[in-house]
Amino acid sequence: MKTTTWLSEMTVGDPVIDAAHRALFDQMVFLLRAGDSELGDGFLSLTDKLEYDFREEERLMEGLDFPDLHGHREEHAKVLACLHQVDPADVGAAREALRLMLKWFPAHVATMDSALVVALRRAAVPAAAVSPLHAAADAPAPR
C-alpha cells in the first residue's frame, strides 16, 4: 500500500473520528512533502495535535469503560515517546519519523480504533456526543 494515499479502508465509520484521522493523515503527508524550512515547526505542531487527539480518544474510551483502554493508551504513549525523541531540526530524522507514522497509522486505525468504534456502536453513542475530537476551539494552536 502506498502510505501517502488515503484509502477508504482507513475509515472506521464514525464521521467525527474519520474526519480527525483524515486531518492527521493529511498533515503527515503534507509535512513529508514540505520543504525543510516548514518541517520543524510543522513536526512540532503535528506532535501537539497527536497529543490532543490521543487524550480525547482516551477520554472517550474512559467514558465507555473500554476493555482495552490500557493497551490503547500504552500504544499512544509509545508513539508519542518516539516522536519526542526526534529533533525537528534534523530534517532526515523528522522525515523518517513521518514515514514510519504513515506506516503505523493505517494499522492502528484498522485494529485499535475500529474496536473503539464497535464499542461506541454497542453503547449507541456517537463519538460527537462524547468527545470534541478536532473541535477547532479546543485544538492546540499552531506553534
Q: What CATH number should be reported for the domain holding residue 116?
A: 1.20.120.50
Count of H-run helices and E-run strands, the chain: 6, 0
Domain count, the chain: 1
| CB-CB contact of 98 with 104 (8 Å) | no
Asked if residue 140 is part of any domain, the answer here is: no
Asked if residue 33 is part of any domain, the answer here is: yes
Residue type, 85: Q
**Which domain covers residue 103, as residue numbers?**
12-130
Q: CA 115, CA 97: separation in Å to the nearest integer?
A: 26
* Listed residue (107, 84, 100, 105) closest to 32, CA to CA: 100
Asked if residue 101 is part of any domain, the answer here is: yes
Asked if residue 138 is part of any domain, the answer here is: no
User: What is the DSSP-derived secondary structure letter of residue 57?
Assistant: H
Predicted confidence pLDDT, tens digits, the chain (143 residues): 467 899 888 999 988 899 999 999 999 999 999 999 999 999 999 999 999 999 999 998 998 999 999 999 999 999 999 999 999 999 999 999 999 999 999 999 999 999 999 998 888 876 666 555 544 334 444 44
pTM score, whole prediction: 0.84
Asked if residue 71 is part of any domain, the answer here is: yes
